[in-house]
Amino acid sequence: MAEQIPDQQGRLRYIDLAVPGAGIDPAYTQDAATRWRLKSFLIEIVTSADVASRYPSLIVTVGGILTASFPLHETIIASKARRLCWANQGSETQNVVNGTMTGFLPGDYLVNNQAVISLNTISIQAADQYDAGRLVVEEWIEPLV
């Protein structure tokens, strides 16, 4: 796949996700005929008072098959607001600073043609609420054949 990436840089695209319903993980389906390099994903969750430890992961699926998972290694407990941020710059060390949990994305990870980028939150509760997240990608448009 690497030999198919253009030599020039792609355009940066900022994608604002819709706010999902309560207790639902957000997801975005990549446009057809595009190639992406994931740059960052930023979203906030407010957890309900239900006692549970939530474990969020950014996942990528293609055709329903899991192709990548980028977990955060910290839990989110009840009645907390946390900003979650995955980025491909900086350290692979994950931490929580001022309510922001950070995770690492590899700089060379590419996705093609209608991949689904979503969160998978283990132990999400019915009243937990994600906001409208933002996905940043470097994008190339595939030539029409």
Residue 88 has what pLDDT? 86
Strand 100-104 with 81-87, pairing: parallel
CA distance 119 to 49: 21
Q: Average pLDDT of 82-93? A: 79
pLDDT at 112 over 70: yes
Report whether pLDDT(46) > 80: yes
- pLDDT (tens digit per residue) in 130-144: 999 999 999 998 775
Cβ neighbours of residue 14 under 8 Å, at least 6 residues apart? 134, 135, 136
What domains are there in the chain, each with its CATH number?
Answer: 2-141 (2.60.120)
Strands 96-97 and 81-87: unpaired
Quote the tokens at residue 90: 């900086």
Tell me what pLDDT residue 94 has: 60
Rounded Cα–Cα distance for residues 37 and 112 (Å) = 9
Mean pLDDT of 61-84: 92
